[in-house]
Structure 1
């Protein structure tokens, strides 16, 4: 137990639960990411609030946000939890002093700034770990290529020797620059998209001429440019070249987005960024070291704000 406030203590499991829920923005998102039942997370945070004598989360129908006290506790708690995990590894995993090399195959289109900062943070915590990253259009196309981790977006393989961890769920929607919308008008119906220049983000196996609707249907479109590289599309949309269907990566390391939503709640859908770990290496110290940091880095207080609690 750690003395936190006069008359209050902080248990590491309770602190871990608070940080996980605050980062994911919902009990559901934290439960899925950590593989811990929602009821357990709720009871741990409730016990922590009782011990400290103050509310740590504001609970709403569409998610949760930390109170000022909760925010301060999370800020210090993240480093404390990381130090505790490092201490645990030093005791039970002496081989972790030299973690060796890890290979990662990523999907083209994962924001490079997000990935670069994540890798830099991993290196800062684990300087002996050597990371070998490569990117391709569909990492799932050839599962026989040796790799420790695969970072993928969208559908998962039906089978294969992998364990799956969801790093972040995100929405997909339409965005355009205010300059473009001021000049060409803001469409108020799906049919009005036919009078606009369109840009489309595509996933492997997806028809670029059909966009998802939030109600579960699809709409036929004719985009002048399609790509699996979300950053190219972001740049084109920001320069005023049309309305773009984009993944809305809203994590704490994501690039700033100077774009305006279009037909929010009408056109769009949801997907997820996931890591697939080869079963043979899933329990190695080097794999766990990288996964532990990626979970926190790819999440963020805003990334799951729209998810139910």
Structure 2
């Protein structure tokens, strides 16, 4: 098979060059090697491919037919190689993506659904899970992760953006309890911390003016392990919440929640796309990463303004 393909490339080179001498220069072969390759090809096909005289060289009728067929074959090979190596313009096949539940539903899904409308040969299998998944075992092409990547071995990562948190409360709560103006005021308020499994409340993190990070352990009678439940509790006037901007953007826009402590930047996390290390990134994965890089920064900040 390799010899047959080599023979085709030499034949195409000789036909395009117009002479064996010029073909040998362009292909980096001796004139004798070009002639012998064409002779073996003609013997195998049992046809003459070139009309040769001392002054000119041209394709025979059979040679012209063979030339056109070989051009199509090489073009198809080039297209397949480009597609498999990630260079194809039309990604195909099933794209399997894993993303955290809320971030995936509110920020990732709209981007990927839109991407499938742009590429009609792509299919999307989007799975929501807050726990880390094994990309190889679960046959996941791409995962979106929040925060540090504890399992980076064997993975490639690309940062998609970062999000801040918003300290907010319902207008009714602010009217009844007052608006905190400084971080020290939080101790006098009911707060709604996020509690991981085991009941441990996550501290609220703020950037200081000198670039450092301060962590505050906030208290309250209510601890929840679900961000949507915290947002709903805040909307119902249960206290102050510190939630991702992408989660509460619509509630802030509608006035159901009011942002407080705007002079203090509440810190969130970076968001990454991760995929298995490979020499060649499939086209469907490459275009998805590019689209997430383009769209996620806006969605992480203000989903209501995202295209």
Classify the TM-score, shorter chain: 0.5 to 0.7
Give aligned pairs, total: 213
Instruction: Name the residue aligned to 2:180.
Output: 187
CA displacement at 1:108 relative to structure 2: 2.8
Which of 152, 156, 159 aligns to 1:159? It is 152
- 1:28-39 aligned at under 5 Å gives the runs none
Whether the aligned pair in 2 keeps the contact of 1:172 and 1:246 (CA below 8 Å) is yes
Runs of 4+ in 1 over 6 A off after TM superposition: 202-206
The structure in which a higher percent of residues are strand is 1
CA deviations over 1:239-296 (Å, ceiling 9, x no partner) = 3222111111399xx6453332222344722411211122238610110122222222
Whether the aligned pair in 1 keeps the contact of 2:201 and 2:223 (CA below 8 Å) is no
Q: 1:153 to 1:175 in 2, by over 3 A?
A: same
Matched, 1:177 2:175: no
Which secondary structure does the structure 2 equivalent of 1:157 belong to? coil
Which secondary structure does the structure 2 equivalent of 1:212 belong to? strand
Matched, 1:260 2:258: yes
CA displacement at 1:303 relative to structure 2: 3.7
CA displacement at 1:120 relative to structure 2: 2.1
Distance of 2:238 and 2:184 partners within structure 1: 19
Instruction: Name the residue aligned to 1:220.
Output: 217
Give the TM-score normalised by the residue count of structure 2. Answer: 0.58
Distance of 1:277 and 1:142 partners within structure 2: 7
Instruction: Name the residue aligned to 1:237.
Output: 234
Distance of 2:93 and 2:289 partners within structure 1: 15
Which secondary structure does the structure 1 equivalent of 2:224 belong to? strand
Instruction: Name the residue aligned to 1:246.
Output: 243
Which segments of 5 or more consecutive residues in structure 1 lack a partner in the other structure? 1-88, 305-309
CA displacement at 1:125 relative to structure 2: 0.7
CA displacement at 1:129 relative to structure 2: 1.3
Instruction: Name the residue aligned to 1:130.
Output: 123
Q: Which has the larger radius of gyration?
A: 2
Distance of 1:266 and 1:164 partners within structure 2: 30
Q: 1:203 to 1:121 in 2, by over 3 A?
A: farther
Which of 286, 291, 294 aligns to 2:292? It is 294
Whether the aligned pair in 2 keeps the contact of 1:200 and 1:225 (CA below 8 Å) is yes
Instruction: Name the residue aligned to 2:24.
Output: none
Which of 97, 102, 105 aligns to 1:109? It is 102
Q: 1:240 to 1:141 in 2, by over 3 A?
A: farther
Whether the aligned pair in 2 keeps the contact of 1:200 and 1:226 (CA below 8 Å) is yes
Distance of 2:91 and 2:127 partners within structure 1: 23
Q: RMSD of the TM alignment (CA)?
A: 3.6
